[in-house]
Chain A
């Protein structure tokens, strides 16, 4: 990323030209940007005009309870591509995975960026924040919650990248041992944009930055805080297998005739009908395909609590668990449902250990 101080006052257009990007290249960038932002191609000249004059924002990126998959998604998948230009031309002043500085030097860089750009910088967060015990996750001896709240004070806006930062994600899954919460559980006085996904589609991350740079305002959000441009439609609505769903043609297993003919994966647990994301049109691996195109049901990773949805391979129409039957005695004894689920999971784990046989879909549901 460019951190040369002489570039800090450049507009985005100037920064791109200084990298030898021609106007044709810039138009190409704007055309693909409009496409990824689901904007009409008629918007291309307006995007070009706005981006030309946009100033490079200071970005402070905080990583908390996460697997680094979100950063990997952004930096690996789209290295040396047009989308990476946006990432390269922001002033990324703090990102403890990517920066060379460490320890007190890194923290000094964060504080310097905060002071210099107070009220104007963007704060990007990936990972959930543990509230159970501050010692579960610290950076330079600072607890995640303290660093989040301190850095948020001077931020113009907060972008929660990934399902962990947006909704708690996998650390928040039952029984949530660290007391993990999302960014929006803690910050209530700043605009927050959720960019969920496990990981999010890289161009969606850069698309949100581009939207902010282009229009100077935050994108329109849905009721879960996600930009409508990318999360406005269900996977199911944009899925090329949708006509099979409408005709009632389903794959019943991963290797039956229906699977080979590319029929709908609904009965194999596809969460496309209840999942809002851009996978079906933006796709993954530089537009190669998306999970359903590769023959696997959508897991619903951009939705809150997707890990506790009752099973990746159960159709949406099947009740998640027969909780009433298993916890009836527990309930009668006044034990909370959460404890009962924990008991049920332990029983299943013991049972699975005893069986110790070849893994099947049924096993995955146990």
Chain B
């Protein structure tokens, strides 16, 4: 039993009437992406939605071919909806509470790309790893020479 049913709170079909306008906004943004290549982001937290309405919106967008998980400062879920080019990005904190939810109209959400700063740090880490891998060999040689 979900929390709303538990407390006998009844949800009507429409409370804020914001679901349909958001879907129209997505449609406009998708057309703009196709025509001009310009991306758009809709912050769902900035729009008043009644309990149940956000879920209705998510259900309408549905699931597409891509479902990615990210683990940085808590998990994030990045889903391409059944409408290609329309992504649902949900950020959670380390306690699994939602801290941000966005609809991104783009070919690929930026947060999925490898980031330059991380790649530079990764290169540094890999080089250090290779150097540390060589250390035991050097030690072995030294010990043999000593003998």
Chain A residues near B (Cβ < 8 Å): 17, 21-25, 27-29, 31-32, 34-36, 38, 41-42, 44, 80-83, 85, 238-243, 260-262, 280-282, 286-288, 293, 295
Q: Could you say which of A21, A35, A239 has the most chain B C-beta atoms within 10 Å of its C-beta?
A: A35
Min CB gap A84→B, angstroms = 9
Q: Which of A41, A81, A295 contacts B41 (CB 8 A)?
A: A41
Does B84 reach chain A (CB closer than 8 Å)? no
Residues of A within 8 A of B16 (CB): 240, 242-243
Query: For B17, B43, B99, which residue has the most chain A Cβ atoms within 10 angstroms?
Result: B99
Contact A280 B98 (CB under 8 A): no
Contact of A286 among B17, B72, B93, B110 (CB under 8 A): B93
Cα A25 to Cα B73 with chains together (Å): 6
Interface residues of B (CB under 8 A from A): 8-12, 15-17, 41-43, 45-51, 53, 70, 72-74, 76, 91, 93-95, 97-100, 102, 110-111, 115-118, 121
Contact B15 A35 (CB under 8 A): no
CB of A323 to closest CB in B, whole Å: 37
Q: Is the CB of A261 within 8 A of B10?
A: yes
Q: A29 vs B74: C-alpha distance in the bound complex, in angstroms?
A: 11
Known contacts: A41-B43, A41-B102. The answer to whether A24 contacts B72 by CB under 8 A is: yes
Shortest Cβ distance from B7 into chain A, in angstroms? 8
Q: Known contacts being A242-B48, A262-B11, A286-B99, is A23 close to B115, with CB within 8 Å?
A: yes
Tell whether, in the assembled complex, residue B70 and residue A24 are in contact, meaning their CB atoms are under 8 Å apart.
yes
Residues of B within 8 A of A24 (CB): 70, 72, 111, 115, 118
**CB <8 Å contact, B48 and A261:** no
Given contacts A31-B91, A243-B16, A286-B95, 11 further A-B contacts (CB under 8 A): A23-B116, A27-B110, A27-B111, A32-B100, A34-B43, A80-B94, A82-B99, A83-B99, A238-B48, A240-B48, A287-B98
A selection of 15 A-B contacts at a CB cut-off of 8 Å is A17-B121, A22-B72, A23-B117, A24-B118, A27-B115, A28-B70, A35-B43, A35-B100, A82-B93, A85-B73, A240-B49, A240-B50, A262-B15, A281-B46, A293-B51
Determine which residue in A23, A34, A243, A260 has the highest number of CB atoms from chain B within 10 A of its CB, and name it: A23
